[in-house]
Amino acid sequence: MASHSKLFDDAVMALTSLPGIGKRSATRLVLHFLNRPKEEGVDFALRIQQLVREIKYCHKCHSIADDDLCQVCSSHKRNQSFLCIVESVRDVMAIEETGQFNGVYHVLGGIISPIEGKGPEHLNIETLIARLEKDGIKEVVMAISPTMEGETTIYYLSQIIIPLGINVSTISRGVSFGGELEYTDEVTLGRSILARLPYEVNK
Amino acid sequence: MASHSKLFDDAVMALTSLPGIGKRSATRLVLHFLNRPKEEGVDFALRIQQLVREIKYCHKCHSIADDDLCQVCSSHKRNQSFLCIVESVRDVMAIEETGQFNGVYHVLGGIISPIEGKGPEHLNIETLIARLEKDGIKEVVMAISPTMEGETTIYYLSQIIIPLGINVSTISRGVSFGGELEYTDEVTLGRSILARLPYEVNK
């Protein structure tokens, strides 16, 4: 919309540069900032600035951290010999949310993608290898999306990790809990039959 | 999601305080900031800070401005004796977007709403009255939403303005262009018949 104000338009432009925010939403957000006390907007800006300026990445697992080591890597309550390999920080957060994993993480920072020109050398694999022995990792679970590129990455890593005598698994794939069979894609459904599990009562 | 980072969580909280942004979107936005160069996030924060710190409101019409007078009030190309009264800055922008209005604005900063305890004394009405004579306003169009409260405000203002010998109108109400009759509410449809216009060919 025509605001006739450079300050207004600059703020709208800054907001539309964010994913999922169009010009209409951006305009609404700017008007929101103008309707609230000035301090709120200043405080908002400060939080974003502190985030990008002060956030650190864990020296060990490459996840986000407020210090040199993240809270997971520095916790005595976590099994430091059980490693979960993920693509991104977002995946760490999704798994933490489930409360089902008690080990530690390693964030690859991407997956192998020949189309995007991303090879193993662009991922945090050197630090992974160094860590496997140094930290006495006994088990590795790869929580990587079951896409073509994900499978390639899983295969590549397994060729490195298995020879070290470390137990390697991937997260299970199959029909979602609560998912209906008729809406499940063929590949998932087909594999879920091949990877069928013995039925256990009371589990 | 469990981020284990105060900086991360603070930024998510700041974003969820905005209208229309839930925790999921906020998390995605924070991860976006972390995936982009640090300078982008700093620049974004700066724009918001400048917006709330430096924006001004036009001394004449109360719309947003980068200076003491807004670009509309200080323009020689606008008809300074044709005044459009609106509720908010957002309405000014919506009307400017149409390109159909060549006059100037007066932003009330709300409408009369007994339920919200908002009376005429909370609106920019004193400056409006002072302006009507001083600026030699010849015509006033009220572009105020046709709600119960909007109609009250329109009536209140008309009682002040009409005695001054100024031509007062409201924007036309009726069926939207492209709107289908069967989906138009009864009140709008009924009034659109009462307020029917002579049919003109080639207009």
Same domain membership, residue B96 and residue B175: yes
The token pair at A185 is: 């894609």
Give percent above pLDDT 90 in chain B: 69
B81 and B49 in one domain? no
Location of structure tokens 């109360």? B62
Helix (H) or strand (E) holding A106: strand A104-107
- Tell me if the pTM is above 0.80: no
A73 touches chain B (CB under 8 A): no
pLDDT recorded at residue B201: 65
The encoded tokens of residue A159 equal: 């060729």
In this structure, the answer to whether residues B107 and B179 fall within a common structural domain is: yes
**Confidence at B34, pLDDT banded by 50, 70, 90:** very high
Residues above pLDDT 70, as percent of chain B: 97
**Per-residue pLDDT at B203 exceeds 90:** no
Residue with token string 């860590």: A131
> CA A123 to CA A110: how far, in whole Å?
6
Which residues in chain B touch residue A18, judged by CB atoms under 8 angstroms apart? 29, 32, 44
* Mean pLDDT to the nearest integer, B139-147: 89
Torsional sign, CA B118, B97, B75, B135: negative
| Cβ-based contacts of A13 with chain B (< 8 Å) | 47
Q: Tell me: the pLDDT tens digits for A83-92?
A: 999 999 999 9
From A125, A171, A165, select the one nearest A151 (Cα to Cα). Answer: A171
B39's CB contacts (< 8 A; 6+ apart) are none
Least confident of A28-32, A62-66, B83-87, B181-185: B181-185
What is the reported pLDDT for A153? Answer: 94
List the CATH number of the domain containing B161: 3.40.1360.10
The backbone torsions φ and ψ at residue A85, rounded to the nearest 5 degrees and listed phi first, read -95, 125
More confident site: A186 or B47? B47
The three-class DSSP label of residue B75 is coil
CA atoms within 13 A on the CB side of B43: 12
Residue A121, CA distances (Å) to A154, B82, B96 in order: 15, 67, 53
| pLDDT score at B178 | 73
**Spans of chain A, pLDDT less than 50:** 203
Q: Is A164 on the interface with B (CB under 8 A)?
A: no
* Residues B76, B40 share a domain: no
Mean pLDDT in residue range B111-134: 94
Q: Quick one: B94 and B180 in the same domain?
A: yes
| Domain span at B38 | 6-54
Q: Indicate whether B35 and B109 sit together in one domain.
A: no
Q: Which residue has the higher pLDDT, A96 or B179?
A: A96
Task: Check residue A202 and give its pLDDT.
Answer: 57
Q: Is residue B61 part of a domain?
A: no
Domain count, chain B: 2
Task: Determine how β-strand B64-65 pairs with β-strand B56-57.
Answer: antiparallel
CATH number, domain of A42, equals: 1.10.8.420
Shared domain for A49 and A21, answered yes or no, is: yes
| ipTM summary value | 0.81
Q: Tell me which chain B residue has its CA closest to the CA of residue A15.
A: B44
Q: Which residue of B has its CA nearest to A75?
A: B4
B108/B1 Cα distance (integer angstroms): 42
- Interface contact A54, partner B, CB < 8 A: yes
Top-confidence range, A175-179, B143-147, B158-162: B158-162
Contacts of A65 in chain B (CB under 8 A): 4-5
- pLDDT computed for residue B200 by the predictor: 67
In a domain, B136, yes or no: yes
What is d(CA A8, CA A5) in angstroms, rounded to the nearest whole number? 5
Distance CA A135, CA B57 (A): 61
Q: In this structure, is residue B11 part of a structural domain?
A: yes
Whether residues B84 and B31 fall in one domain: no
**B32 in A contact zone (CB under 8 Å):** yes
Longest Cα–Cα distance of chain B, Å, equals 68
Measure CA B16 to chain center: 24
Q: Given this model, what pLDDT does residue A180 score?
A: 76
Q: At what angle do helices A23-35 and B38-54 cross, to 10 degrees?
A: 50
Whether B3 has a pLDDT exceeding 80, the answer reads no
More confident residue, B179 or B27: B27
B49 and B125 in a single domain? The answer is no
A65 at the B interface (CB within 8 A)? yes
The verdict on B93 touching A (C-beta cutoff 8 Å) is yes
Claim to verify: residue B47 and residue B74 sit in the same structural domain: no
Are B48 and B135 in the same domain? no
Q: Is the pLDDT of residue B196 over 80?
A: no
Q: Where are the alpha helices (DSSP H) in A99-179?
A: 126-134, 148-161
Cβ A20–B14 below 8 Å, yes or no? no
* Domain match, B167 and B190 both: yes
Q: By the 8 A CB rule, do B141 and B91 touch? A: no
Burial (CB count within 10 angstroms: exposed 0-12, middle 13-18, buried 19+), residue A56:
middle
* Six token digits for residue B174: 């009726």
The answer to whether residue A1 is domain-embedded is: no
Select the residue of B6, B32, B97 nearest A19 (Cβ to Cβ): B32
Integer Cα distance of A143 and A140 in angstroms: 10
